[in-house]
Amino acid sequence: MATDLRTLRRTLKTRRRLLPLPEQHAHARQAVHHLLGTRLFRAARNIAIYLPVRGEISPLALRLHANPRQRFYLPVLSPCRQQGLLFLHWHAATRFRANRYRIDEPRLQYSHLLPARQLDLVITPLLGFDAAGNRLGMGGGYYDRSFAFKSRLTAHSRPFLLGFAYAFQQVEALPYRPWDIPLNGVVTERGLKAFNRS
């Protein structure tokens, strides 16, 4: 299984990276459009998004359509590797640095942190997903560790974990492991799908 997942990750990373920029931008606009009209987005106050890298579909246009009550947060690698991610408020004065993976993230300021439990909506990057809401990430387990508390709560508890992806990133099936935290939904250029977790 580990070998299969490595091969799948490599295949999906290559396909994502090779998608022409005009198509990346068009798909991102369509995915953002699908999400903007939903009650899920309009009702969310604390929203985590990400800075896209290496061909990831971009959720950044969501900020352009935010209402005054909405605040956006970016993930930061915790200094303690076992803790997963921290979420910092993204504002006009936010300063960035490259993390250990050479990905830009906000400089850590504890006064700007919001506990993951207090987020309403988390827009997550991914490499692949399946029809059951299983998510294939880069293999570091950061999102799984950050939201492990959701495994002890009801299916509809916040935050709502929403994958943001290209439609071609859907695969037939992904293995589920006890520590995996599945998605509550996914949005692509083709629309938004919520997964039934009841």
> Alpha helices, DSSP H only, in the chain?
2-18, 21-36, 39-43, 142-146
Residue with tokens 């997550």: 124
28-49 burial, b at 16+ Cβ within 10 Å, e below that, comes to bebbbebbeeeebbeebebbbb
End-to-end Cα spacing for the chain = 28
Nearest to 14 by CA among 6, 2, 4: 6
Tell me what pLDDT residue 3 has: 58
**CATH of region 2-194, choose from 3.40.50.850, 3.30.470.30, 3.90.1150.180, 3.40.50.10420:** 3.40.50.10420
Torsion of CA 71, 50, 148, 47, to 10 degrees: 20
Tell me what pLDDT residue 26 has: 98
- Quick check: 157 pLDDT over 70? yes
Percent of the chain with pLDDT over 70: 94
Mean pLDDT value across residues 20-48: 97
Tell me what pLDDT residue 197 has: 60
Q: 157: which DSSP letter?
A: P
Tell me what pLDDT residue 104 has: 93
Mean pLDDT value across residues 124-143: 91
CA atoms within 13 A on the CB side of 124: 33
* pLDDT tens column, 1-33: 555 888 999 999 999 999 999 999 999 999 999
Domain extents for the chain? Answer: 2-194
Tell me what pLDDT residue 151 has: 83
Average pLDDT value over all residues in the chain? 91
